Each structure stands twice: as C-alpha cells, then as structure tokens.
Amino acid sequence: MTFLSLAAGFVLLFFGGELVVRGAVALARRFDVSPMVIGLTIVGFGTSLPELLVSLNAALNGSPGIAVGNVIGSNLANMMLIMGAAALICPIIVNPRAVRRDGLTMVAVTAVFIIIAVGGSVEAHEGAMMVAALVLYIVISLWRDMRANDAAAQLHREEADEVTGLPEQLWVMIFLVLAGFVAIGFGADLLVDGATVLAKDAGVPEEVIGLTLVAVGTSLPELATSLVAAYRGHSDVCLGNVIGSNIFNLFGILGITAMATPVPIADKIINFDLWVLAGMTLLLIPFLMTGFRVSRAEGTVLLSLYSAYVTCQFWGMSGTYTA
C-alpha cells in the first residue's frame, strides 16, 4: 500500500504540474502576456509547484526532514540527474551572456541559504526575507530584460516556447489550471504520507527519503521539460530551467514553507548535504561564465556523481540524520 501511495503521488504530481503549466501559459498568451514574462515567472513557478506543495505539506504535518530534503535534493537532482540526462541526448552549449546573470544569482542564493541553514533552522523572518528577495529578483530581471532585450531575455522567451500543445478555449485553460492544482494537492498528500511510512518501516531517516525518492519525484516536471528541450536541440533551455528551478526552490519553496512553520535542519544535512550542494553549484560556474559545453561524456560523469550521492545516502556514508 505504501508503494501504491508513492506511485500515485508521483503520477498526480507530474500530470498536475503539466496541467497547471499548460493552462497558465495558455491563459497568459490569451491575454497577450509577453513570452519573456511567461518564461521567467509562470514556467518557473509552475514546474516548481510540486516541490512547494510537498515541502509545505511535509513541514506542516511534522516531517521537516522531508521538506528540507526535498528542496536540497531537487536542486542536486537538477544539476546532476537532469543536466546529465539532457547532455546524453544533446550536448549542452550555452551562450554565457544568456545565463550569466541568473547563474550568478543562483550561486548567491545558494550561498545565502547555506549561511542560514548552518544556524540549524530556517525561521519565519528568514523565510520572509528569502521570498522578498525572490520577488525583487524577478521584478529586476523583468525590468532589465524589457529594457535590454538581450540574450537572457531571449532565453526566457525560449523557455516559454517549449510549452506546446496549449488549449484554445478559455474554459479549457481554466479547467486545466484548477485540475492541476487539485491533482498536485492530492499527489503531495499521497507522496508525503507514503514517504513518511516508508521511512519508518525501513528505518531510514526522513531526510534521506526527502533527498532522494521525494526529490526525484517532485523534479519530474523539470526532467520532462529538459529532456524534451534537449531532444529538440534547445540545450540552452535545459540549463535555464535548472538555474530558474534552483532559485525558486531555495528562496521560494523553502522561504514560503518557513513562513508557515520554522524548518529545522538536521545535523548531517549541515555537515554533508549542504556542502555537496555548494560543490555542485561551484562546479557550474565555469559553464556559466565561459559557455563551455557539457558533452555526453561529462553528462555521464554527472549521472555517475548523482548515483554515488544516492548510494552514500542509503549506505549511511553521510551519517545519521539528527535534528
């Protein structure tokens, strides 16, 4: 029954996220919202919606390990699993001018999050600060993109253009958004319940389940979007999706969750997983600054690193997770 709950949760989160993104993008285009705005806000928020509801649900129901593990694990899955898989399909070649600003923002956001997290918890006022900073970043980005109309603005348009198969009837658009929210809500409940039971039955810390199983499940929308983009030869969109998702996850999802209830950070997340997150983020800097391509061989390395990370979690090399 536990695995059925997990499977149903994954399915509902994936299809719910797809419905929300398609419906919301169609509505935005119906009302002549700029593709650049759609790419930067609607697509980014929509693909991160499963992470938000899962983390919020977990924290409010007394499973903060799943909440924070989901956020950190999703970012690691983005940088290793998703980028690695996309690079196997099509090497990732990016114009550094298109991703430098957002990429450096991701590095700064990760650094600020780590500074907060090493204190042992993310409190409500810190969460509010993170959300406010995210909103400010979006506003400044939109303002600069509309004025400069540069490579970064074009990348955000391309992210919006990747969303295809949009409905034409207004009532269908609204239905898709509402149905997607309902599906994600039920999916989050099923996934958190199943993950909590699985952790208890298997004697595995909730943080491990959050960092691995739950994180991969909630990252499915980003994975699907990135793989389709890579298949179409739009490898720059893949990296753009990863950067945007990582920023939304740390400051948006964890920020909103902390505003609802303080989120404690387990000791071993502080001593191990935060530094894996820091290391992988720093590893991306050369690609962001120089436009150096991520080849298929390097994609294989990223997938191997992710496999090693997951193995460390379940073999206990990262230690016992205690709050």
Distance spanning both ends of the chain, measured CA to CA = 29
Give the model's pLDDT for residue 111.
Answer: 96
Which amino acid is present at 166? L
Task: Determine the pLDDT at residue 4.
Answer: 87
Mean pLDDT, rounded, for 126-133: 97
Q: Where residue 155 falls among pLDDT bands split at 50, 70, 90?
A: low
Measured distance CA(275)–CA(289) in Å, rounded: 22
Closest CA to 158 of 251, 105, 228: 228
Q: Could you tell me the pLDDT band of residue 286, with boundaries at 50, 70 and 90?
A: confident
Q: Which homologous superfamily does the CATH classification assign to the domain defined by 2-315?
A: NCX, central ion-binding region (1.20.1420.30)
Most confident option among 39-43, 58-62, 314-318: 58-62
From 21-35, 54-68, 250-264, the region with the lowest mean pLDDT: 21-35
Calculate mean pLDDT across residues 173-177: 88
Model-level pTM? Answer: 0.87
**Mean pLDDT computed over 12-34:** 81
Tell me, what's the pLDDT at 132?
97
Q: Other C-beta atoms within 10 Å of 118: how many?
A: 12
Rounded mean pLDDT of 39-50?
Answer: 73
Looking at residue 258, its pLDDT comes to: 96
**Which comes out higher in pLDDT, residue 127 or 97?**
127
The whole-number average pLDDT for the span 277-306 is 84
Neighbouring-strand partners of residue 214: none
Judged against a pLDDT cut of 70, whether residue 16 lies above it is answered with yes
How confident is the model over 149-156, as a mean pLDDT? 64
Residue (of 89, 44, 155, 110) closest to 294 by Cα position = 89
pLDDT value of residue 10: 85
264 pLDDT exceeds 80?
yes
Q: Does position 317 have pLDDT exceeding 60, yes or no?
A: no
**pLDDT of 65-122, one tens digit each?**
999 999 999 999 999 999 899 889 888 877 777 677 788 899 999 999 999 999 999 9
Q: Distance between CA atoms of 245 and 17, rounded to whole angstroms?
A: 13
Average pLDDT, the chain: 84
Distances (CA, A) of 216 to 60, 221, 315: 21, 10, 18
For the segment 181-227, what is each residue's pLDDT rounded down to a tens digit? 899 888 888 888 888 888 888 788 889 999 998 998 888 877 887 78
